[in-house]
Structure 1
Amino acid sequence: MAISHTRMPTYFISHGGGPWPWIPDMRREFARLEESFKRLPGELPSKPTAVLMISGHWETRDAFAVMHAARPAMVYDYHNFPPHTYEVTYPAPGAPALAERVRDLIEAAGLPSRLDETRGYDHGTFVPMAVLWPEADMPLFQVSMRSSYSPAEHIALGRALAPLREEGVLILGSGLSYHNLRAFGPKAKVPSTKFDTWLNEALQLPGAERIKALENWESAPSARQAHAEEDHLVPLFAAIGAAEGEPATRVYHEEGIFGGVTASSWRFG
């Protein structure tokens, strides 16, 4: 007999900078973000059966790739941090059987998909998970973005993944609501605030209006100042697609990180 689970919400989380939980000064800077991560498991109807992460740090060109390894490796995709941060491990098990189901769901939606045997956990995944589930006992796998960054295609990806929510799978989009590597610090204050304000308002719109606003996000105030490249925004589209029409709740909001950035995270459903 199949086990019944209450439907999981989905999330878009701003994941902070680099390996911040393992660097004391950075961890203090992201204390409020850490608090929001620690609250998240208590916001869920039950313990997830697995976590599916769409990270702003993994993109593929040909198809949506689905992590298939039983024991994924680590990907230290950050630079100029202390040596010990390149020895961090997050030994969560993968979810190969679920990955195969996800590949089939994506293909059934008319989108290209393939399994990936070698990809490991990038820091957009293992950093928040190390705070969310420090025991590393939660089955965890990733689905890539496609490098087209198409809002419509990634919303469609989310729609394809939506049935997993009924099976206890927690879908997390991991990025940043502001991500312009050339414009952190004080000069980020105005554009990040303008874009974050617009984004929060757009996410409160009803169903079709919300989708339309996100598909046309480039017309938002300071859009291209906030996301010169939108790799850290695209995971939001998948999280929305998987919870289409469901209410958005801002679960984290902070001004002044990275020397001037306003950033937020949201729950859907």
Structure 2
Amino acid sequence: MNKTQPVLFLSHGGPTLAIENSHASQFMKLLGGTLNKPKAIVIFSGHLDSDDDVVITSGASPSVIYDFYGFPKPLYELTYPAPGEPDLAYKIADMVSASGYKAVLDEDLGWDHGVWIPLRLIYPDADIPVVQISISSKQGAKMNYELGKVLAPLREENVLLIGSGAITHNLREIFGRQKTPNGSAMAEAFTDWIAQKLENKDHEAVVNYLTDAPNARFNHPTDDHFLPLVAALGASGEDDAVRIHQSWQDDKLLAMDAYRFG
């Protein structure tokens, strides 16, 4: 009998998550033990943002991409030698194409840090095949929600779907010299609103977060790190949402919330 997997959304924070001892890193180190081991992982990352095509990693052994600069040297020595899954990638491409979107298979593309850093903590044995799929800021939240729905049937085949992004992601506020006086309160109001809408299964409100949520543009000057949550929500169907982790970094501006659906 096939196992039906849940859907996860993870806030992956900065690359130092891989080497720091934080509430979020400790949570991820324990997370794998709470899940039935999947036969494969399909993951959306906010760092693979495609305009018009749905890009899918299809290589047998994708490399890791060090898509960050100025961080401690040990980060650039880390690897994650999990296999790819070309057959699954081709199946996903067929599903995406049948839904009316253009799928592009890329056998040379590696995994950005939104993929390999959290997975390295959750599944350190690196023995589960991984396929990464792009999000699209250009096409907006509704498209990403529909893309998640397209891939939802994979859950019944023991495939774990993950959105890897950030509940809040205002790097300008975090690293800038001029701080918004009530910035942390604005971040907290946004995360509380998201939690309420997810728990009430108000998918429409989350998809329309730019117009409905408090302080949406303050917390997400760009959409890329929020859209993995929208894709995960689309894949979740009618499953309940449970916030399985909550912590803060960077003066209570970067929320590390994580959710499980199903």
Q: TM-score range by the shorter chain?
A: over 0.9
Residue number in structure 1 paired with 2:206? 214
Q: Deviations over 1:235-254 (max 9, x none)?
A: 01110111122100001111
Compute the displacement of 1:176 (Å). Answer: 0.7
Confirm or deny that 1:32 pairs with 2:23: yes
Residue number in structure 2 paired with 1:190? 185
Q: Where has structure 1 moved over 3 Å in runs of 4 or more?
A: 185-188
**Which structure 2 residues correspond to residues 222-241 of structure 1 after superposition, within 5 A?**
222-241=215-234
Q: Deviations over 1:140-179 (max 9, x none)?
A: 1200112315111111111110111001100000011000
Residue number in structure 2 paired with 1:204? 199
Alignment check: 8 A CA contact 2:57 2:89 kept: yes
Quick one: which amino acid aligns to residue 221 of structure 1?
P
Residue number in structure 1 paired with 2:47? 57
Confirm or deny that 1:15 pairs with 2:12: yes
Compute the displacement of 1:119 (Å). Answer: 1.0
Quick one: which amino acid aligns to residue 17 of structure 1?
G
Quick one: which amino acid aligns to residue 197 of structure 1?
D
Residue number in structure 1 paired with 2:89? 99
Q: Deviations over 1:29-64 (max 9, x none)?
A: xx21122213322332x2100111100111112310
Percent identity, aligned pairs only?
36
Distance in 1 between the 2:134 and 2:51 partners? 10
Residue number in structure 1 paired with 2:110? 120
Partner SS state of residue 29, structure 2 = helix
Quick one: which amino acid aligns to residue 238 of structure 1?
A
Distance in 2 between the 1:234 and 1:149 partners? 11
**Which structure 2 residues correspond to residues 149-188 of structure 1 after superposition, within 5 A?**
149-184=139-174, 187=180, 188=183
Confirm or deny that 1:6 pairs with 2:3: yes
Alignment check: 8 A CA contact 1:171 1:239 kept: yes
Compute the displacement of 1:69 (Å). Answer: 0.5
Residue number in structure 2 paired with 1:258? 250
User: How many aligned residue pairs are there?
Assistant: 255
Distance in 2 between the 1:86 and 1:41 partners? 24
Alignment check: 8 A CA contact 1:192 1:263 kept: no
Distance in 2 between the 1:141 and 1:253 partners? 27
Alignment check: 8 A CA contact 1:184 1:260 kept: no
Give the direction of change, closer, same or farther, for the CA distance of 1:127–1:149 in structure 2 (3 Å limit): farther
Compute the displacement of 1:191 (Å). Answer: 1.7
Confirm or deny that 1:129 pairs with 2:123: no
Distance in 1 between the 2:256 and 2:17 partners? 16
If the length of structure 1 is used for normalisation, what is the TM-score? 0.90
Residue number in structure 1 paired with 2:32? 41
Compute the displacement of 1:211 (Å). Answer: 2.1
Alignment check: 8 A CA contact 1:196 1:263 kept: no
Compute the displacement of 1:233 (Å). Answer: 0.4
